[in-house]
Amino acid sequence: MMRGKLRMQSLAACCALLLVASVPASVDAANSKPAPAKDLLQASNLDIAYANNKGTMLLSLGLTKTDDAERYTRTICEPNKPFAIVHSGYQEGDDQGTGRQTAANFAHEAGALFYTKWDGKAAANQTCILSTTDAWSSYKFLAYKPANGEKLTAAIVKRIEAVRQRKVVKHERIGTISQNTAVAVVQYEPRKGENPLAGIALVTPDTTILLPLSGNDDPNSTWRVDDGGVIDASQFRVIVSAKSASGYALGLEWYGAEGNSIYVLKQTGRRFDPIMHQGRYMAPV
């Protein structure tokens, strides 16, 4: 009787092993696959700042006295070079300055104040993007090389034209991400009854992503105040170039006669959506 029970137990154990072995490996693989990293790149985790003349202090443009500025622990002032910062209080500002958000007027403007840490340093008067520790956690920063306004190849222009079905009449390269991704400014052919149209284009080997820039019919201030109707690559600086599983992100500074506009852009399909936009008033005194 004991032998019969042992045989039955042994048979049951063998069947259990066979059942486990018969489960497809793909089921285990699917169950163990990590969930995609949550995209935390959003306005509530970002702010814009500018540096003092030494590049060792940053003054925020958007954070108020009631904001939790200690959340902001990193900054990036040029592509692929983030560094650590530490919040050091709120600067009240005074009425002794010029009202300009510049290094020369740094001590007189109000804003959350940050010190750079360790070897981190900005260029004098440089615009930087502040972030919380995890804002860029799902993104990889990419190498970037600025260009000198060179013309785009005919093949790239054709791809840009295809997105909006509109002819490009002017095009200049702002820079190159990694080895083969162009960042450019383009101007489209005029259309009767429509405002002038330009755009920022990011062209990868696989896709074309656009940020449309609509102008107006003022020949002296078509795109920005006192621009003389001109838009070209020299007016733009890439602050950040990054990529996640869901697409590209750019930090872009647009120089103007009275100051700079700063954007953080995220890819949605074949377009860029601004998730943050702030202005920096820098008109000559």
Question: What is the reported pLDDT for 192?
Answer: 93
Give dist(CA 179, CA 241) in Å, integer: 13
The answer to whether residue 73 is domain-embedded is yes
Instruction: Kindly state whether residue 8 falls inside one of the protein's structural domains.
Output: no
pTM of the model: 0.86
If asked whether residues 276 and 151 sit together in one domain, one would say: yes
32 assigned to some structural domain: no
Please tell me whether residues 150 and 124 are part of one structural domain. no
Q: Is 79 within a domain?
A: yes
**Pair 127, 149 in one domain:** no
Are residues 230 and 106 part of one domain?
no
pLDDT, position 35: 62
DSSP structure string for the chain: -HHHHHHHHHHHHHHHHHHHHTS-HHHHHHHHSPPPPP---SGGGEEEEEE-TTSSEEEESS--TTS-GGGEEEEESSTT-EEEEEEEEEE---SSS-S--SGGGGGGS-EEEEEE-TT--PPTT-EEEEEETTTTTT-EE--EEE--SPPPPHHHHHHHHHHHT--EEEEEEEEEETTTEEEEEEEEPP-TTS--EEEEEEE-SS-EEEEEEE--S-TTSSSSTT-TT---GGGEEEEEEEEETTEEEEEEEEE-SSEEEEEEEEEETTEEEEEEEEEEE----
Picking from 98, 113, 137, the residue at the C-terminal end of a domain is: 137
The model's pLDDT over 124-149, given as tens digits with 9 standing for 90+, comes to 999 999 999 999 999 999 999 999 99
- From 90, 120, 137, give the residue that closes a domain: 137
User: What average pLDDT does this structure show over 150-178?
Assistant: 97
CA distance 232 to 196: 14
In a domain, 106, yes or no: yes
**112, 80: one domain:** yes
Regarding whether 220 and 112 lie in a shared domain, the answer is no
Q: Are residues 179 and 237 in the same domain?
A: yes
pLDDT in tens, 225-281: 999 999 999 999 999 999 999 999 999 999 999 999 999 999 999 999 999 999 999
Domain interval for residue 272: 144-281
- With respect to residue 94, please indicate whether it lies within any of the assigned structural domains: yes
Cβ–Cβ under 8 Å, residues 271 and 210 = yes
User: Are residues 92 and 64 part of one domain?
Assistant: yes
Residue 235 tokens read as: 């007016």
Same domain, 109 and 160: no
Are 125 and 222 contained in the same domain? no
20, part of any domain: no
Strands 82-91 and 181-188: unpaired
The full DSSP string for 89-131 is: EEE---SSS-S--SGGGGGGS-EEEEEE-TT--PPTT-EEEEE
| Total count of domains within the chain | 2
Query: What residues contact residue 146 under an 8 Å CB cut-off, 6+ apart?
Result: 174, 175, 237, 238
Pick from 81, 102, 137: which residue ends a domain?
137
Q: Kindly report the CATH number assigned to the domain that includes residue 75.
A: 2.40.10
pLDDT in tens, 173-209: 999 999 899 999 999 999 999 999 999 999 999 999 9
Residues 207 and 168 in one domain: yes
Q: Is residue 2 part of a domain?
A: no
Residue with tokens 């793909």: 26
Q: Based on the domain organization, do 270 and 195 belong to the same domain?
A: yes
pLDDT for 34 equals 60
Both tokens of 229, joined, read 């109707």
Query: Which phi and psi angles does 14 have, rounded to 5°?
Result: -65, -40
pLDDT digits 0-9 by tens, 32-83: 556 667 899 999 999 999 999 999 999 999 999 999 999 999 999 999 999 9
What is the predicted pLDDT for the residue at 8? Answer: 40
